[in-house]
Amino acid sequence: MYQPQISETISRKFETQVLSWSHYVLLSKFNNPEERRFYEIESLTNNWGLSELKRQFNASIFERLHLSRNKNEIQRLTLKGHEIQKPLDLFKDPIVLEFLKLPQHHSFSESELESAIISEIQQFMLELGKGFFFRGRQVRFTFDEDHFFVDFVFYNRLLNCFVLVDLKIGKLTHQDLGQMQMYVNYYDRFEKKETE
């Protein structure tokens, strides 16, 4: 029976870091060598435990990235992992929230979704992408004597910028976009520093 080899070159690149035997057992089951190399690199660079490797594989991160890239970027993806070359590379698209374990055919509110995300904030930040720090939930700011609340505020250390998340259930409206633009403008004018 053919056993695909785990890349020696990749393993040497990260000689100070080692994956567990269980990681390699799982990786050896991947039929696609490019996908296997990708998950090996990502496990090493992001310190994924076995359960996180399984979760990322089950969430099809390689396929999602593969579908959003051209042929040259796919080759780079399989040799170097998910590299950040432009700001949009930091964000996973789409974001898969299967770890929240919300019922599929259940109508839930934005506050229920927010509470589910908070209970799994570490997984949510991993799903967002690289370099995120959680600043707060329902972060209040006052503008023209009115109080506003941003559902989630993150900071990305790789981009040196705030990332604002406003949860919406259903169709996005022009009013939603205007509200978010107002949040972004406030943070741009009053919260960020000159170096951000």
- Residues 34-74 have pLDDT tens digits of 888 888 988 888 888 888 888 888 878 788 776 765 666 66
pLDDT at 63: 80
Specify burial of residue 147 (Cβ count, 10 A radius: 0-12, 13-18, 19+).
exposed
User: Cα separation of 88 and 78, whole Å?
Assistant: 19
Contacts of 183 (CB under 8 A, 6+ apart): 148, 150, 164, 166
Extract the tokens encoding 51. 């359960």
3-state helix, strand, coil in the chain (%, to 5): 50, 15, 35
Rg of the chain (C-alpha set): 20
Every domain of the chain and the residues it spans = 8-83, 98-191
* Total residue count of the chain as it appears in this document: 196
Beta bridge partners of 132: 156
Q: How far is CA 118 from the centre of its chain?
A: 15
Please check the confidence at residue 190 and state whether its pLDDT lies above 90: yes
Average pLDDT over residues 126-155: 92
Higher pLDDT, 8 or 38: 38
**Lowest-pLDDT choice from 89-98, 111-120, 137-146:** 89-98
pLDDT at 9: 44
pLDDT at 152: 96
Question: Closest by alpha carbon to 38, among 71, 1, 2, 65?
Answer: 65
User: Cα separation of 187 and 169, whole Å?
Assistant: 24
**11: confidence class by pLDDT, cuts 50, 70, 90:** very low
Higher pLDDT, 3 or 98: 98
